[in-house]
Amino acid sequence: MYKHVLKPVLFLFNPESVHDLFTWTGEFLGKFGITRWVTSFMYGYRLPKGGKDISKTVDGISYRTPILLSAGFDYNGRLSQILPFIGFGGEEVGSVTARPCEGNPKPRLTRLPQSKSIIVNKGLRNEGVDAIIARIKGRRNINIEEKKFVVGISIARTNDEKSAQSVQAGIDDYVYSFKRLNEEGVGDYYTINISCPNAFGGETFAKPELLAQLLPALKVIPCIKPVYIKMPINIAWDHFAQLLKIIDDNKLQGVVIGNLNKDYSWLDVREEAPKEYVGGLSGKPCTHPSTDLIRKTKEMYGNRFTIIGVGGIMSIETAKEKFEAGADLIQLITGMIYEGPGLVSKIARSLE
């Protein structure tokens, strides 16, 4: 239905408009019992009688399925009432920032269908942490088969000149969002996004010396939830390992590996993309680099870190590769856009 009927029509329209339409539709479907039931009937995942339970407890949080919607799709936290009904065990809302962000100038999204990728140049568009806290607090939790739907929150530095003025201004910006979320008790876990490739001033906090300043500033804030770091995937292993060491020293629970791919040579059809870099690549170009970094992290640290594997999960096989490389949980976005929402339950069933 999605791949052969809906997708060819949707792909005729601007990706950001289609995304807005999906968000609006998803929010509407999540409002009523009957629309949730129909969605679940079409795309849901049900534990079969006598089947193997695929739920997982990670850092004390129980996930009905170990598959999450990755940060960037539900950036304003509107979809937590419907996502459990298409097989997701959780989602990462955001990235949220201290102040609202309009995002970068359009086009913010460009499809590259032959390479099964999207050029993402969103620039952290979101309504700001306070508005998103208010929205999430106003919602009731969704439970299916007695499992709560997990809502993690991704936090990034505001995409503006003010937060990029100095290292301290950047740290203060992260601290504000982290503090507000903890004060309000909103979010089941937090991910600190240090690797957005399209923000004002660049990925400053992916520099080891700056991450080593940011994490102690966050540690001062009382937090009883797990905290993860969203890692870049275009850096050399030495640099990546330095970041892991700092995360270990600061006793954070884990890493999300990883963010968008900045290297256009990973495209199957290079000609599909503009000659110059205009945004990070999602989807297939992320599959191999992220899996490789997950494997290396697991080899180096064993079970020390929770690893959330994300990047180019387009099929059952690529999902399994992430788990085999060492991921405890997986996240996806682009696979769902190219293969349809049915991909989530398909992966869930394959895990049984």
Ligand X SMILES: Cc1cc2nc3c(=O)[nH]c(=O)nc-3n(C[C@H](O)[C@H](O)[C@H](O)COP(=O)(O)O)c2cc1C
Applying CB under 6 A, the residues found at the interface with ligand X are 70-72, 75, 94-95, 109, 118, 120, 122, 124, 154, 193, 196, 230, 259-260, 282-283, 286, 310-313, 332-335
| Residue nearer to ligand X on the CB measure, 64 or 108 | 108
Least Cα distance to 253 among 330, 306, 300 occurs for: 306
| Residue nearer to ligand X on the CB measure, 62 or 315 | 315
Place of tokens 């007695």: 146
| Residue nearer to ligand X on the CB measure, 107 or 274 | 107
Asked whether 330 and 66 are in contact (CB, 8 A), the reply is yes
Query: How are beta strands 56-58 and 61-63 bridged, if at all?
Result: antiparallel
| Residue nearer to ligand X on the CB measure, 47 or 291 | 291
Q: Residue 31 Cβ, how far from ligand X at the closest point, in Å?
A: 24
Q: Residue 306 Cβ, how far from ligand X at the closest point, in Å?
A: 16
Q: Residue 339 Cβ, how far from ligand X at the closest point, in Å?
A: 11
Distance CA 178, CA 328 (A): 24
CA distances from 14 to 106, 107, 210, 276 (A): 11, 9, 37, 21
Distance CA 251, CA 117 (A): 34
Query: How are beta strands 56-58 and 280-281 bridged, if at all?
Result: unpaired
User: Peptide bond before 312: cis, by omega within 30 degrees of 0?
Assistant: no
- For 142, counting Cβ atoms within 10 Å of its Cβ (0-12 exposed, 13-18 middle, 19+ buried), the class is middle
Q: Residue 49 Cβ, how far from ligand X at the closest point, in Å?
A: 31
Q: For the chain, where are the alpha helices, taking DSSP H only? A: 7-10, 15-29, 33-43, 129-137, 167-184, 208-219, 237-249, 284-301, 316-325, 334-339, 342-351
What tokens appear for 346 in the block? 């398909």
| Residue nearer to ligand X on the CB measure, 116 or 180 | 116
| Residue nearer to ligand X on the CB measure, 84 or 285 | 285
Q: Residue 37 Cβ, how far from ligand X at the closest point, in Å?
A: 27
Q: Residue 96 Cβ, how far from ligand X at the closest point, in Å?
A: 9
| Residue nearer to ligand X on the CB measure, 206 or 333 | 333
Q: Residue 48 Cβ, how far from ligand X at the closest point, in Å?
A: 26
Give the nearest residue (CB) to ligand X: 72
